Amino acid sequence: MHRRWETETRYYETIVNTDLWGECVLVTVWGGKSSRLGGCRTVAIGEENVIKRLTRIQDERRKHGYVEAICKHIDDLEDLYLEERQLEAIRAEKSGVWGAMQQGGQLTANP
């Protein structure tokens, strides 16, 4: 399981894996988006503590103004979708005008 939180300038990631002995480990990675500063920590936490630890991390990140990256990307995708719909509408409108001009039709404004 991999989760990422971001602010304008910082990021924080959590990765849940198993080690060579089958134990559950939590890897946390943090740093600046435009700098090389940051860090990484790996902690064996046991399977029973994963949800508690991730919930606590999520609450801390939100308190410090971080937004989960998937939420940001969903907003970006929604904006892209809306822009594509607008572009399609503009193209359809232009092709309708162009088609009428090619056929020698009269263009009238709708009141």
Whether residue 70 contacts residue 56, with contact meaning beta carbons closer than 8 Å, is answered with: no
Look up residue 110 and give its two tokens.
Answer: 């709708």
Mean pLDDT, to the nearest integer, of 58-79? 80
pLDDT for residue 38 is more than 90 = yes
Per-residue DSSP letter, 47:
G
Q: CA 42, CA 55: separation in Å to the nearest integer? A: 17
pLDDT for residue 62 is more than 90 = yes
The more confidently predicted of residues 77 and 31 is 31
pLDDT for residue 43 is more than 60 = yes
Q: What is the pLDDT of residues 72-86, one digit of tens each?
A: 566 666 777 778 888
Q: What is the mean pLDDT of the chain?
A: 81
